[in-house]
A and B are shown apart, each in its own frame.
Chain A
Amino acid sequence: MRRLLLLAFLGGCQGVLTGPPVWQQPPTEPPVDPHPTTPVTELAPFEPAPLRPRLLLSHQYVNAVRARRATCW
């Protein structure tokens, strides 16, 4: 949740989520990410992300084609 608040703050800073853009109201402190000092056990329980099909990257594609040619075909 703290991370969410941070993201909301930074997002607001970006003029994307909420609040005025940073150049109108600069933050008084540099961004501080509380996450590294938060023990794992205090973080929210895991929620998995959506599974989505992913196109092979170009080097993966090249290697996949090459692997078929070299080892199997």
Chain B
Amino acid sequence: MLVNGLTAIGATVLKIPPSSVNDYEANAYRAAQAALLARRSQVISCTPTSSADATCMRTLATRFVPLAFRRPATEAELTRWTAVGVEAAEAYDDFVRGAEFLLAGLLQSPAFLYLDEVGETDGAWRRLTAWELASRVSFFLTSGPPDELLREAAANGSLLTDEGLRAQAARLLEKPEARAASLALFDELLELHNLDHLAKDSARFPGFDAQALAPSMREETHRVLLDLVFDSPGDFRDILTTRTTFVDGPLAQHYGMPPVSGWTRATAAEGRAGILTHAAFLSLQSHPSANSPTYRGRFIRERLLCQVIPAPPPEVDTSLPPAAPGTQRTLRQRLTEKTSASRCQGCHRVMDPPGFAFERFDAIGRVQALDDGLPIDTSGSLDERGAFDDAPGMLALLREDARFTDCLARVVFRQAVGHVDLPGEARPLKAAADAFTESGHRYQSLLVELVASEAFRSGVLEDAP
């Protein structure tokens, strides 16, 4: 559940609904049964001397409780879970059934389901234990539990050193899982999951099948991100300006590019620059039949610059009237007139100018030459950062804007730790952003710097019992 735009924050502040407890239970039995069907001899590594052999069951518990809980087991846990396995094995007169209930139980345990971090006292603060840190790093960078090497580093304490931690983070980033883990954040940051429900007005865009093209739109943005982060690592700010992209047949047709078969690296047409000129972003931050400079500009303010834009005032008709009959008006002209009142201007003069830069793209991300038969004005200025003529110009200013790199560090950190960064964390986050800058804006460096920062490794316990 998204809170503050991130499921990682929802997962930290919300209580789970009872329906999730049901789902976890059902999944746990399915997973345990599947494992015992496919890999019975690996799972049951000892030879039970009877159908309810408690010694062999304890051997299983000793191996699997630490794996599932991602830390050493307590004696109470080993006793508890061995008993569960033995009880089931006795009831069925079948050791394998006992193992099934043992494994299915571990997969429902809060010790498995939660990243539980209480740390250990370190002066006024608490520092994550090596095992807690291993899980935090692993789930942040690879969306999965610690692998064997990371568990070793936790067990021998090397993970608690700065070099050890950085080395493990760098190693994890080379795993294939790191790619999907990075995309999980961008899906939420760019709201790409909303492409699942993309709907456009068929009368305004005849022949456009949103559901058919949406997966390609998402894939294009994914590929550009993966290319810049993993395959040919470069200055991450180029996501805002690069004309390098990837298209498949339907997307090439949509963009009016020469036909391709399968996914192909391509150069976007002049006038496009980076992922904010992809069909995905342009379609998502639009209405079903019309552009929304406000949505597009608001996105830049909120999500890329970490600025706060208030909700529109209540009891106000926010609809945009069409041009009077017999007159021609661009969307920009109509929006500017509609929001000219001072009570609208406080926010709209902040949101709309960067949004107007995209007006040469329509609500499904194609180029539009004219708007209502009139030439389109995409010029403006980005605060005191300078004036621009069009989207590439605005995005070039954004690329150089320190607020963008600063905000990026903060948003990635939120994903890593599951809370909106607090004022007390500004210092280490700024230090990580500075190190990111010094690295030549390598995104992987940002990830490693965040992992190595004090803010990632420390915490406090509030009103603990």
Contact = CB atoms under 8 A, between A and B. Distances in A.
Chains A and B are bound partners: yes
B215 interface: no
Interface string B8-23: 1001111010000000
Interface in B44-83: 63-64, 67-68
Contact of B35 (A50, A51, A60, A69): A69
B305 A48 contact: no
B143 A59 contact: yes
Given A40-B427, A51-B118, A68 B31 contact: yes
Contacts of A73: 32, 35-36, 39, 42-43, 64, 103
B145 A53 contact: no
B426 A67 contact: no
A53 B116 contact: yes
Q: Which residue of B64, B67, B139 has the most chain A CB atoms within 10 A of its CB atom?
A: B139
B418 interface: yes
Nearest to A37: B402
B428 A46 contact: yes
A47 B427 CA distance: 9
B137 to A, nearest CB: 13
Interface stretch (B106-114, B365-373, B444-452): B106-114
A72 B406 contact: no
B310 A14 contact: yes
A21 B419 CA distance: 26
Interface string A47-73: 111111111111111011111110111
A56 B460 CA distance: 21
Interface stretch (B162-170, B201-209, B224-232, B343-351): B343-351
A35 B424 CA distance: 13
Given A23-B343, A56-B113, A63-B144, A30 B383 contact: yes
Nearest to B432: A40
Report the contact-size class of chain B (Cβ under 8 Å from the partner): 35 or more
Given A51-B126, A54-B12, A3 B307 contact: no
Given A40-B430, A73-B43, A48 B454 contact: yes
Nearest to B142: A63
B349 A48 contact: no
Contacts of A65: 27-28, 31, 107
A34 to B, nearest CB: 10
B144 A67 contact: yes
Contacts of B430: 35-36, 38, 40, 43
Contacts of B145: 63-64, 67-68
B350 A30 contact: yes
Contacts of A53: 12, 110, 114-117
Contact of A57 (B8, B64, B147, B345): B8
A30 B302 CA distance: 13
A68 B68 contact: yes
B25 interface: no
Contacts of A3: 423, 426
A51 B139 CA distance: 16
Among A15, A54, A58, A59, the one with the most B-chain Cβ atoms within 10 Å of its Cβ is A54
A37 B344 CA distance: 30
A55 B67 contact: no
B418 A31 contact: no
A7 B144 contact: no
Contacts of B115: 53-56
B36 to A, nearest CB: 8
Nearest to A22: B346
Contacts of B180: 59
Nearest to B453: A46
Nearest to A15: B310
Interface in A1-23: 3-4, 7, 10-11, 13-15, 21-23
Interface string B134-157: 000001001111010000000000
A73 B344 CA distance: 60
Contacts of B143: 57, 59-60, 63
A52 B35 contact: no
Given A33-B307, A53-B114, A73-B103, 6 more contacts: A23-B310, A47-B423, A48-B126, A68-B35, A69-B39, A72-B64
Instruction: Report the 3 A-B pairs with minimum CB-CB distance, sorted nearest first.
Output: A26-B346, A47-B424, A36-B402
